[in-house]
């Protein structure tokens, strides 16, 4: 259940706290007072696209925060699977927008918009002002049917998606392999050339680094020889550092016995003399071995050129080139054994299609069963919503192709006049009738899932009179089993409120702001009178509003229980 909505510096709202209750929560207000801003705050917190323009004039950021109390054990388990902790059953979703940046959090931890949407799908169901238009699309109608039969259909649909994926993959592989004989011969020729070129290079993993090291040494051989020769001479015993160090060591050894400090210095100098001797011998050995032929230098350069040539064609390293060779060898084998491979793929495709066909039959049979059930339930709900002579059908047909959801297509059809045949929704019903059909469907689906909160944003569009009364009764019925939050402009629906909130736009110090406040019973009656009477509220209008409120309370305590 959504227990609290906190909004700060969003559009016209400076700061607002709304504490919702169980049952039917109604929000009313003058046109332009900011009812849409409230829905915007909820959608904003739940990950809807945001912009800098949403921040209140003069503020640097805006905040929308929702607090839920999660009671359903199944919902808690589902949230835990999303790594969302619901300790003490409380869950807080917030979103803050600062400039071009927004941050979403769940229970104080930063999260992605996708994580928020996944959690929101478990917590509430929002019906926006124009969502009922989606009923005109067959794919949305199929979603509704599948949602109704979720318990048995969901595992079958998962299996269908897996079978379709395998079928589609094999079919594409078979189609890709279908080429004419000349094209196949050209492809074989190209593959053989590439494989031969790589094989003849006799590549060795890691050789490129060794070649580059040797080439660099040979290319700079003159510099190396001159520098090392000079270093050898300067550290040698023919007037070099080695000779001088030896003389210094002999001088120091004559006096080192007179002082321990001198003895230590002698030892250090002896180490230096030894290191210089080692270096001198090592330098001499390196210079003795430092010989190579011009042919060797040329061959090393040629080998590097070959590797670079192959790298530009087949991969950016020896390892990648060898991987490419392997993949091309596999392709060559497939093309050379084309008929055998084709037969194997056709056999696999037949098996995959048979499995897909079997599971599609299973899904279709379940859908046919749920079509009958849902037709009866929607018809019953429509009669409750003042469709006096309604005939409703769900027509199930088969597509000429497979999809990841099977091969079924459905269409909602309706007749609202006696004697007229049923026709697709879009050819028969008005906007107000579509709203009521969607309300009927939402009512039915609410009993099928664990979502505890339903939000309706002006679902009463295009209705009035007795129809409005029927809709209000249906909303109150839903409120017995779920928390309902409804923005409305109809007094009949507002009268049924368990909690009534007024949204008011006010101007103070030449600044416009929107505020939201909970109404007492008497204030609720006055708000009903405003809706009924418009600009002028007379005693008669107040009396009418009071009577409407009393009748609604009687209905809720008797007939709607």
Are 349 and 170 contacting, i.e. CB atoms less than 8 angstroms apart? Answer: yes
What distance in Å separates the CA atoms of residue 202 and residue 214, rounded to the nearest whole number?
A: 19
What distance in Å separates the CA atoms of residue 496 and residue 480, rounded to the nearest whole number?
A: 12
507: β partners = 512
**In three state form, how does the secondary structure of 377-408 look?**
HHHHHHHHCCCCCCEEEEEEEEEEEEECCEEE
Cα 216 versus chain centre, distance: 51
Whole-angstrom CA distances from 443 to 129, 226, 446, 449 are 17, 93, 5, 11
Helix (H, G, I), strand (E, B) or coil at 424: strand
Cα 458 versus chain centre, distance: 29
What distance in Å separates the CA atoms of residue 17 and residue 518, rounded to the nearest whole number?
A: 10
What distance in Å separates the CA atoms of residue 433 and residue 454, rounded to the nearest whole number?
A: 20
Segment holding 7, helix H or strand E: strand 2-10
What distance in Å separates the CA atoms of residue 263 and residue 270, rounded to the nearest whole number?
A: 11
State the sign of the Cα–Cα–Cα–Cα dihedral 145, 150, 151, 153. Answer: positive
- Write b or e for each residue in 25-40: b if 16 or more Cβ atoms lie within 10 A of its Cβ, otherwise e: bbbbbeeebbbbbbbb
State the sign of the Cα–Cα–Cα–Cα dihedral 197, 203, 208, 210. Answer: negative
Count of other CB atoms within 10 angstroms of residue 66: 26
> Based on C-alpha coordinates, what's the Rg of the chain?
41
393: β partners = 413
CB neighbours of 539 closer than 8 A, spacing ≥ 6?
none
101-106 and 124-127 as β-strands: parallel, antiparallel, unpaired? Answer: unpaired
- pLDDT tens per residue across all 561 residues of the chain: 999 999 998 888 888 889 999 999 999 888 766 677 778 888 888 888 877 778 888 888 999 999 999 988 888 888 888 888 877 888 999 999 887 788 999 988 898 888 898 888 888 888 765 666 777 888 889 988 998 998 899 999 999 999 999 999 999 888 877 766 667 788 889 999 999 998 998 888 888 888 888 777 777 777 777 777 777 777 776 767 777 777 777 777 887 777 778 788 878 888 888 888 788 888 878 777 776 667 777 777 888 888 888 888 888 888 899 999 999 898 888 777 777 778 888 899 999 999 999 999 999 999 999 999 999 999 988 888 888 888 999 999 999 999 999 999 999 999 988 888 889 887 877 777 777 888 888 888 877 766 788 888 777 766 777 888 888 888 888 888 889 998 888 899 999 999 999 988 887 777 777 888 899 999 999 999 988 886 678 888 889 999 999 998 888 887 555
What distance in Å separates the CA atoms of residue 453 and residue 75, rounded to the nearest whole number?
A: 12
């Amino acid at each position: 259940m959504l227990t609290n909505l906190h909004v700060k510096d969003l559009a016209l709202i400076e700061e607002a706290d709304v504490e919702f209750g169980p049952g039917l929560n109604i929000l009313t207000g003058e046109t332009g007072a900011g009812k849409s801003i409230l829905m915007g705050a909820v959608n904003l917190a739940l990950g809807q696209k945001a912009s800098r323009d949403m921040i209140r004039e003069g503020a640097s950021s805006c905040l929308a925060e929702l607090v839920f109390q999660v009671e359903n054990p199944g919902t808690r388990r589902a949230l835990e699977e999303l790594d969302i902790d619901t300790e003490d059953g409380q869950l807080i979703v917030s979103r803050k927008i600062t400039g071009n940046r927004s941050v979403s959090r769940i229970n104080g931890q930063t999260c992605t918009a996708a994580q928020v949407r996944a959690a929101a799908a478990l917590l509430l169901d929002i019906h926006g002002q124009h969502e009922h238009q989606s009923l005109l699309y067959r794919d949305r109608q199929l979603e509704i049917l599948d949602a109704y039969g979720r318990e048995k259909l969901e595992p079958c649909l998962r299996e269908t998606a897996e079978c379709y994926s395998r079928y589609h993959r094999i079919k594409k592989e078979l189609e890709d392999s279908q080429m004419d004989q000349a094209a196949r011969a050209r492809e074989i020729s190209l593959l053989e050339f590439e494989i031969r070129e790589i094989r003849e290079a006799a590549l060795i993993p890691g050789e490129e680094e060794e070649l580059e090291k040797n080439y660099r040494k040979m290319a700079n051989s003159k510099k190396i020889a001159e520098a090392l020769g000079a270093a050898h001479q300067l550290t040698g015993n023919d007037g070099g550092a080695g000779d001088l160090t030896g003389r210094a060591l002999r001088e120091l050894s004559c006096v080192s016995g007179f002082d321990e400090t001198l003895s230590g210095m002698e030892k250090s100098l002896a180490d230096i003399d030894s290191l210089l001797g080692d270096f001198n011998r090592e330098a001499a050995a390196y210079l003795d071995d430092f010989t190579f032929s011009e042919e060797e230098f040329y061959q090393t350069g040629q080998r590097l050129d070959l590797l670079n040539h192959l790298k530009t064609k087949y991969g950016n390293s020896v390892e990648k080139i060898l991987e490419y060779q392997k993949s091309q060898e596999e392709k060559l084998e497939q093309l050379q054994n084309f008929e055998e491979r084709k037969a194997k793929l056709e056999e696999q495709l037949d098996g995959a299609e048979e499995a897909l066909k079997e599971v599609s039959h299973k899904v279709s049979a379940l859908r046919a069963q749920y079509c009958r059930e849902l037709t009866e339930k929607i018809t019953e709900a429509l009669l409750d919503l003042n469709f006096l002579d309604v005939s409703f059908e769900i027509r199930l047909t088969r597509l000429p192709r497979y999809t990841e959801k099977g091969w079924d297509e459905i269409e909602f059809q309706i007749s609202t006049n006696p004697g007229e045949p049923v026709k697709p929704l879009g050819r028969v019903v008005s906007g107000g009738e579509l709203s009521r059909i969607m309300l009927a469907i939402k009512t039915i689906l609410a009993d099928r899932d664990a979502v505890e909160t339903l939000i309706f944003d002006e679902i009463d569009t295009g209705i009035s009179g007795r129809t409005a009364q029927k809709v209000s009764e249906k909303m109150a019925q839903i409120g017995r089993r779920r928390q309902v939050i409804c923005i409305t402009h109809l007094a009949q629906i507002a009268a049924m409120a368990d909690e009534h909130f007024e949204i008011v736009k006010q101007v103070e110090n030449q600044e416009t702001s929107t505020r939201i406040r909970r109404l007492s019973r008497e204030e609720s009656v006055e708000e009903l009178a405003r809706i009924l009477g418009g600009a002028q509220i007379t005693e008669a209008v107040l009396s009418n509003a009071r009577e409407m409120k009393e009748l609604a309370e009687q209905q809720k305590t008797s007939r709607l229980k």
